[in-house]
């Protein structure tokens, strides 16, 4: 703006000068001879050219100065823009690392596995992905080197993650035990189009993934993905890896705590629930069924002549029979999803929520036949076991959980009294 104003002033001055010279020439022409007039014109023209050259040079200098100034302004603006972007990135980084303290506090607050997994997933999803795309958390079964998807966060609730055991990218991290970043899936030489065919990549264009490793044992994978190219950078990967390192310790503690809890509520021989835990669950389930006006049935099962197995083959073989019995109950009743318990010695107790007495008796008879037909190899001998089963139901037989157990037990002894290998009810 200042450059245009200066230029206008100069050209106005030159125009005025030219006008004055022309007017002077006209006046002088009226009073002098032609030769003198010509000399006067040449002098005036020379003066005008000198003025024109002087002011033209001044204009060029000012234009050059203005261009130089504009270049400096552009450089400063570019530098300011970079400084602003750097400050914004630094601020975001500070916010991320400030949240590490809260993350550690949250991880130390609970030893429950599901809480630890949710805290880790939500932290990286919020701080790295800005609550967009997908976050996936896999646990690793080191015995079989398999992945299992245990938690996911999605910005699209309708999206379904099909790769429950991980895809080609998760397998890559599992195989190499190191972090992975893909800025543009189409340009990544490690994964060609042939290897991606049939993969559930959910239109992902970029992703980062980090393993959770503790004591040289791979425990899980934490993965973020986006439908945008170049959404993640190396700083995102570093932060994800840091969270994974912190999370690995918490995850290992949670897994140990869960294992301890499982040992406390599961029988170590049959892996069925213990008597104490079963009775606590029974109490809660009876209250729920009474509130919803639903049926609940119990089966008390006793292995017939079990003492003879111990006397004939020894207690070790007896333990094998009990273990086999526990597995038979799991396999045969898996579709009904009952609560299974080793009640004591060779006795087992089973709870069926929402199953009325008639249906429970039918299930018990099918179970009795299945157990009777099962072969058990004991010291190179094919043997069979039979069971006596007692059935009692709520609310038909009683409305009290303790009395329900007693009636199922009484019905089981009635089956034994009638010759064993039977199903009875009171």
Helix (H, G, I), strand (E, B) or coil at 248: helix
Return the residue matching tokens 């007039």.
37
User: What DSSP letter does each residue of 108-134 carry, written as one string?
Assistant: HH---HHHHHHHHHHHHHHHTSTT-SE
How many angstroms separate the CA atoms of 355 and 360, rounded?
Answer: 6
How many angstroms separate the CA atoms of 92 and 128, rounded?
Answer: 10
Return the residue matching tokens 């009073």.
31
The chain-wide mean pLDDT, for the chain, equals: 85
Q: Provide CB contacts within 8 A for 43, sequence distance 6+.
A: none
Higher local confidence (pLDDT), 364 or 29: 364
Bridge-based pairing of strands 423-425 and 387-394 is parallel
Q: Which residues pair with 402 in a beta bridge?
A: none
Q: Which residues pair with 273 in a beta bridge?
A: 266, 341
Question: What pLDDT sits at residue 30?
Answer: 53
How many angstroms separate the CA atoms of 263 and 324, rounded?
Answer: 19
Return the residue matching tokens 């530098």.
79
How many angstroms separate the CA atoms of 382 and 309, rounded?
Answer: 13
How many angstroms separate the CA atoms of 40 and 29, rounded?
Answer: 9
When pLDDT is cut at 50, 70 and 90, the band that residue 264 belongs to is confident
pLDDT tens-place string over residues 112-149: 999 999 999 999 999 899 899 999 999 998 777 889 99
User: What DSSP letter does each residue of 374-416 carry, written as one string?
Assistant: --EEETTEEE---EEEEEEEETTT-S-HHHHHHHHHHHHHHHH
Question: What pLDDT sits at residue 357?
Answer: 95
CA 224, 226, 229, 235 dihedral sign is negative
Instruction: Indicate the fold that domain 110-262 takes in CATH.
Output: Beta-Lactamase (3.30.450)
Helix (H, G, I), strand (E, B) or coil at 190: coil
How many angstroms separate the CA atoms of 298 and 356, rounded?
Answer: 10
pLDDT tens-place string over residues 64-97: 888 888 888 888 888 888 877 767 766 777 777 7
Q: Provide CB contacts within 8 A for 363, sequence distance 6+.
A: 299, 333, 336, 352, 355
User: What DSSP letter does each residue of 337-364 carry, written as one string?
Assistant: --EEEEEETTEEEEEEET--HHHHHHHH
CATH placement of domain 275-425: 3.30.70.270
Q: Parse the chain into domains and list their residue ranges.
A: 2-80, 110-262, 275-425
Question: What pLDDT sits at residue 77?
Answer: 83
Return the residue matching tokens 């050059």.
64
Average pLDDT, stretch 337-341?
95
DSSP 420: S
Average pLDDT, stretch 303-327?
86
Higher local confidence (pLDDT), 10 or 49: 49
Q: Which residues of 119-150 are buried (b: 16+ CB within 10 A; e: fewer)?
A: bbbbbbbebbbeeebbbbbbbbeeeeeebebb
Question: What pLDDT sits at residue 109?
Answer: 83
If phi > 0 it is left, if psi is from -120 to 50 it is alpha, else beta; for residue 331 that is alpha
Both tokens of 58, joined, read 């001044």
Return the residue matching tokens 């100069």.
10
Higher local confidence (pLDDT), 354 or 379: 354
pLDDT tens-place string over residues 11-65: 555 565 556 555 555 555 555 556 665 666 676 677 667 766 776 777 778 778 8
Fold matches, 110-262 and 275-425 = no
């Amino acid at each position: 703006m200042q450059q245009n104003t200066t230029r206008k002033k100069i050209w106005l001055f030159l125009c005025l000068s030219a006008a004055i010279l022309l007017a002077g020439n006209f006046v002088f022409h009226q009073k002098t001879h032609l030769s003198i007039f010509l000399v006067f014109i040449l002098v005036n023209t020379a003066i005008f050219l000198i003025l024109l050259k002087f002011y033209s040079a001044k204009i060029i200098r000012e234009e050059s100065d203005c261009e130089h100034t504009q270049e400096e302004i552009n450089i400063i603006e570019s530098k300011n823009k970079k400084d602003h972007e750097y400050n914004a990135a630094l601020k975001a980084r500070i916010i991320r690392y400030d949240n590490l303290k809260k993350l550690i506090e949250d991880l130390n607050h609970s030893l429950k596995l599901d809480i630890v997994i949710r805290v880790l997933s939500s932290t990286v999803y919020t701080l790295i992905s800005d609550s967009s795309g997908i976050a996936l958390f896999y646990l690793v079964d080191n015995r079989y080197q398999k992945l299992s998807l245990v938690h996911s966060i999605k910005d699209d609730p309708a999206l379904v993650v099909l790769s429950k055991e991980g895809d080609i990218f998760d397998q890559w991290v599992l195989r190499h035990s190191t972090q992975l970043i893909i800025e543009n899936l189409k340009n990544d030489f490690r994964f060609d189009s042939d290897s991606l065919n049939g993969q559930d990549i959910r239109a992902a264009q970029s992703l980062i993934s980090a393993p959770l490793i503790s004591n040289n044992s791979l425990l899980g994978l934490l993965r973020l993905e986006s439908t945008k190219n170049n959404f993640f950078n190396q700083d995102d990967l570093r932060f994800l890896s840091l969270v994974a390192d912190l999370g690995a310790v918490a995850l290992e503690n949670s897994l140990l705590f869960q294992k301890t809890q499982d040992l406390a509520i599961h029988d170590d021989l049959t892996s069925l629930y213990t008597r104490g835990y079963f009775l606590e669950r029974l109490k809660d389930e009876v209250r729920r069924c009474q509130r919803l006006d639903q049926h609940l049935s119990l089966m008390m099962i006793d292995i017939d002549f079990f003492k003879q197995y111990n006397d004939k083959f020894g207690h070790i073989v007896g333990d094998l029979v009990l273990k086999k019995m526990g597995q038979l109950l799991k396999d045969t009743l898996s579709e009904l999803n009952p609560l299974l318990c080793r009640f004591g010695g060779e006795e087992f107790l089973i709870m069926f929520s929402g199953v009325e007495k008639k249906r429970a008796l039918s299930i018990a008879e099918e179970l009795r036949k299945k157990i009777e037909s099962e072969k058990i190899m004991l010291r190179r001998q094919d043997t069979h076991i039979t069971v006596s089963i007692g059935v009692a139901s709520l609310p038909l037989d009683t409305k009290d959980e303790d009395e329900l157990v007693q009636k199922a037990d009484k019905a089981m002894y009635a089956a034994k009294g009638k010759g064993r290998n039977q199903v009875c009810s009171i």
